[in-house]
Amino acid sequence: MTQARLQDKVAFVTGGGTGIGAATAIRFAQEGAVVVICGRRREPLDAVVAQIKTAGGRAEAVQADVSDEAGFTAAIEAAGQRHGRLDILVNNAMAYSWGTIESTTTADWHSNFSTSVDGTFWGTRAAMKLMKERGGSIINLSSICGLLGTSWMAGYSAAKAAIINFSRAAAAEGALSGIRVNVVIPAVVETPATAGMLSDPASRQNTEKLIPMGRVGQPEELANAILFLASDEASYITGAALPVDGGRSAVLVTAL
């Protein structure tokens, strides 16, 4: 019988209550990992943990705000102490503001960085300390907005671009300790964050026309890519930025 791909590994997933984070936690548990999911709201976290346990997996919820350095760092450190190790970190939590550059306040601008960039840095720093003896895998979530300019989302685009290059630097530093750091880059994925846009048929159709594969992504499809990078199958991959976007970032323009 083939051993599960993450058997007995300890994984910490931020933003684990919904969307890509929840799908990743569920997928990790299916492959034998002990999964600690983190988020600001307790109810969705508990629901994901219950789903995992019902299926025979192992999971626990930790309520913490990724934009709170002390609380978030303590949550990762405590998970490492409880389980005696940390093998995988997925920095998935994000926040964004919407509006023109002229209308963006300094507070709005900073709000894009406090969760996405600061949180990714704090999480990576804490995880690298826990992983330095036996190695591990860190997967950071960026966005197609970090690759391509996006009107009305300058702050979010800048933050997601920062994650890509920060991850390259972290990969270079972690390599000698066996710590791999990679990035997954989604485009439009069907999650609670995109539900408003995708619920409008015209908006959904226009979005899908821009994607070569002709449809938006599903959280499980992102989770499978994250699983690969977390697993030993990706043992020689670090510093990579992997688009999982139906081909959206591969094209300059698609006729509407």
Answer yes or no: is pLDDT of 118 > 80. Answer: yes
Active-site positions read 156
Give domain status of residue 42, yes or no.
Answer: yes
Give domain status of residue 240, yes or no.
Answer: yes
CA 179, 180, 181, 187 torsion: positive or negative? negative
Give domain status of residue 96, yes or no.
Answer: yes
pLDDT per residue over 148-204, tens digit each?
A: 988 999 999 999 999 999 999 999 999 999 999 999 999 999 887 776 777 788 888
pLDDT, position 1: 59
Give domain status of residue 3, yes or no.
Answer: no
Give domain status of residue 249, yes or no.
Answer: no
Token digits of residue 194: 């995109």
Domain that holds residue 120: 10-244
pLDDT, position 176: 96
Mean pLDDT of the chain: 94
CATH code, domain with 176: 3.40.50.720
Give domain status of residue 256, yes or no.
Answer: no
Tally of domains within the chain? 1
For residue 180, count CB atoms less than 10 angstroms from its CB and return exposed for 0-12, middle for 13-18, buried for 19 or more.
buried
pLDDT per residue over 237-246, tens digit each?
A: 999 999 999 9
Give domain status of residue 169, yes or no.
Answer: yes
pLDDT category at 97 given cuts 50, 70, 90 is: confident
Report how far residue 124's alpha carbon sits from residue 65's, in angstroms, rounded to the nearest whole number: 15
- Dihedrals φ, ψ of 247, to 5°? 90, 5
pLDDT per residue over 27-60, tens digit each?
A: 999 999 999 999 999 999 999 999 999 999 999 9
* Cα angle, residue 167 at apex, residues 137 and 171 outer, rounded to 5°: 55
Predicted TM-score (pTM) of this structure: 0.95
Report how far residue 27's alpha carbon sits from residue 218's, in angstroms, rounded to the nearest whole number: 13
